[in-house]
Structure 1
């Protein structure tokens, strides 16, 4: 009797084959060895010699040549905004989508819309993707994985701060932070959608910041917002929060605002506690 695979396992098989172009039986063996995690299995396949060696001089030469195709005429060690747009077109990356941030995280872009030679070569060499076709396939697979991969989401989220912040400063301008939060917390590829049937958290957060916060967003506030968002999705009553917790003051103020401005004191919170 043929083996019966779950919908998730069938999806993993399809993803593995799509990226590696290997046969179904090889895909199944690889996925079984890695807990049916398609991304891990693909990385292990290439890392173990199924593709070009990470340290291959030929792979590095190919990546260097590929970088030159998009490099700025003014600075050959930089792919500028125009070159990045062309590269995104060639790899099917939506510049306004969450995958653009994931792609820039791979190459550790120093700023939004710009890539360095070392970051590009090293980032793709580590993933054994020395051609546009392989990079395109890798990103395609990444897009499939992102909605269910909170570890990947967290990595992209934390990295985004570095490209979103104001040059030569320690913070992200509030208006820019709100735009990025909108993309990260509400995009179709997001693994952490900050809203629920009972509470439009992201909408409230944005409303509160626009009315009550006048400063830029520092790294601590950026990272703690993700932590706070995840907790609110598991405990909408905000039972995890207390005055002794070491949250940034802006989050403490937001909690007070939610309780008093949106929930009419503690009445709605009590109802939600009963629901839990």
Structure 2
């Protein structure tokens, strides 16, 4: 097993910050089952699939892996992978603090302006672990709804937590009758 210390050394060799989103992409390619560790099989199978047989080739492939985040389909796959990868072994849900960190990392890449409001809402009103349904449906919300959420259907099949988030946005004047406030538009 390559554990956190070994991954930190790998990141140093690759000249990449361990918290850089590209390391999530590396883990996705390796089909890593757990955050901050790679089994020998995951590591070697992933390197082989990427065509990497030297440190130099690994460094060269970093820009390719970073570019994969721009591909909508691959981003969705990486986003969905992140849930299982980041949750604690044996747990069905993702710890709230971990989910928030992952959303801030992923949505910074996708540039969803409501991510900070979502995280604030969760900390103020939810303070519980995040289900896989909520995790996956938040990406659907971020991708399909306009900034003011004017095309949001409260009668749709959204998880209750997302319905509560939309209510929270309205209650706090962040969106008003399908229009976003100036502060949200500037983000």
User: TM-score over 0.5 for the alignment?
Assistant: yes
CA separation of 1:271 and 1:92: change in aligned 2, threshold 3 A: closer
Aligned position for 1:141: 64
Question: Counterpart of 1:205 in 2: which secondary structure?
Answer: helix
Does residue 114 (structure 1) correspond to residue 114 (structure 2)? The answer is: no
Deviations 1:67-109 (A, max 9, x none): xxxxxxxxxxx11111111112112222111111111111122
Q: Spell out, residue by residue over 1:217-271, the C-alpha distance to the aligned partner (whole angstroms, 9 max, x if none).
A: 1111111111111123xx12323221321011000111111122224753x6399
RMSD: 2.1
Find the counterpart in structure 2 of residue 242 from structure 1. 153
Task: Give the C-alpha shift of residue 133 in structure 1.
Answer: 1.5
Pick the aligned partner of 1:216 from 129, 133, 140.
129
Structure 1 runs not aligned, ≥5 long: 1-77, 196-200
Higher CA-based Rg? 1
Match for residue 225 of structure 1 among 133, 138, 160: 138
Alpha-carbon contact 1:165-1:173 (below 8 Å) kept: yes
User: Which residue is equivalent to 2:185?
Assistant: none
> TM-score, normalised on structure 1?
0.61
Question: Quick check: 1:207 aligned with 2:123?
Answer: no
Residue number in structure 1 paired with 2:86? 164
Equivalent position to 1:251, from 158, 162, 177: 162
CA distance in 1, matches of 2:14, 2:79: 21
Does the residue aligned with 2:179 lie in a helix, a strand or coil?
helix
Report the number of matched residues: 182
Measure, in 2, the Cα distance between the counterparts of 1:214 and 1:80. Answer: 29
Structure 2 residues not aligned, in runs of 5+:
183-187
Q: Is the 8 A contact 1:259 1:269 kept in 2?
A: no
3-state DSSP class of the match of 2:35?
A: coil
Encode CA deviations 1:133-181: one digit per residue, 9 max, x unaligned.
21221113322x1453222222221111112112211011111111111
The equivalent residue for 2:179 is 269
Which residue is 1:151 aligned to?
73
Who is 1:8 aligned against? none
Equivalent residues of 2:174, 2:181 under 8 A apart: no
Displacement, 1:127? 2.1
Once residues 81 and 173 of structure 2 are traced to their aligned partners in structure 1, the CA distance between those partners, rounded to angstroms, is 32
Normalised to the residue count of structure 2, the TM-score between the two structures is: 0.88
Q: Residue 254 of structure 1: SS of its match in structure 2?
A: helix
